[in-house]
């Protein structure tokens, strides 16, 4: 087998293999989420054929197989390069970086505290993944300062059918989707955050004390 042909073939295998790994890691958010129906389709009609291409290529290289005729060799290399480009481009493009390389942030309606000091909304990070969590977005209206306070909510109980706004700063035209309500506490800089029924699968109400000065939350019930 000509050395240049062998090197091109090995290069094609490496590129395709890297694309396979990228697709596997990306579609599972580094194994933090499951595979949906659309991604399953891509695995069947794209990922598996690419894997088969690698397996056949490695077998042929080990056996030293190569057509004798020069034109057949050229056509074979062209087919290998074509398949490598098709597989690699589609496998790379089929990956959404949100949820692992960058966070997926969803939120409810922006609200204002009763004392008109803060804007706030509950944010759900990487929903329906093992690494999901919630935090409270707060903006000081007078100073414009923005902070985020972690909220200890078991996100695995969240319903998969509830509304998700892809823009965490978007304000709906009507106040339909509210996951939390915050009231003034009995001390300065203390607020009481109540998680509404619509946010949890079991409809469980959870209440947290929010300390604006210390920037932390504490579960009350």
* Res 169: pLDDT: 44
Residue 203 banded pLDDT, cuts 50, 70, 90:
low
Please determine, for residue 58, whether its predicted confidence score (pLDDT) is greater than 90. yes
The model's pLDDT over 4-34, given as tens digits with 9 standing for 90+, comes to: 888 999 999 999 999 999 999 999 988 888 8
More confident residue, 24 or 1: 24
**What mean pLDDT, rounded, does the chain reach?**
86
Helical ranges in the chain per DSSP H: 3-27, 37-42, 48-63, 70-93
pTM over cut 0.75: no
C-alpha distances in Å from residue 30, one per residue of 10, 24, 105, 146: 27, 8, 17, 30
Q: What angle do CA 137, 141, 147 make, to 5 degrees?
A: 30
* Res 21: pLDDT: 96
Which of 150, 154, 162 has its CA nearest to residue 130? Answer: 154
Please determine, for residue 172, whether its predicted confidence score (pLDDT) is greater than 80. no
């Amino acid at each position: 087998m000509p050395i240049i042909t062998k090197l091109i073939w090995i290069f094609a295998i490496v590129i395709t293999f890297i694309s396979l790994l990228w697709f596997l890691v990306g579609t599972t958010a580094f194994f933090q989420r499951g595979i949906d129906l659309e991604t399953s389709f891509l695995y069947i009609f794209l990922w598996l054929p690419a894997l088969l291409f690698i397996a056949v290529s490695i077998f042929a290289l080990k056996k030293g197989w190569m057509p004798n005729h020069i034109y057949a060799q050229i056509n074979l290399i062209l087919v290998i390069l074509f398949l490598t480009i098709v597989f690699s481009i589609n496998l790379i493009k089929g990956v959404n970086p949100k949820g692992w390389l960058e966070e997926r942030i969803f939120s409810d309606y922006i609200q204002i505290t009763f004392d008109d000091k803060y804007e706030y909304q509950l944010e759900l990070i990487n929903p329906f993944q093992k690494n999901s969590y919630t935090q409270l977005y707060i903006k000081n209206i007078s100073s414009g300062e923005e902070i985020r306070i972690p909220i200890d909510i078991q996100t695995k109980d969240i319903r998969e059918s509830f509304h998700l706004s892809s823009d965490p700063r978007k304000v709906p035209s009507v106040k339909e989707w509210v996951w939390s309500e915050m009231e003034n506490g009995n001390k300065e800089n203390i607020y009481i955050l109540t998680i509404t029924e619509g946010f949890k699968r079991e409809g469980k109400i959870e209440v947290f004390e929010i300390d604006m000065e210390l920037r932390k939350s504490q579960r009350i019930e």
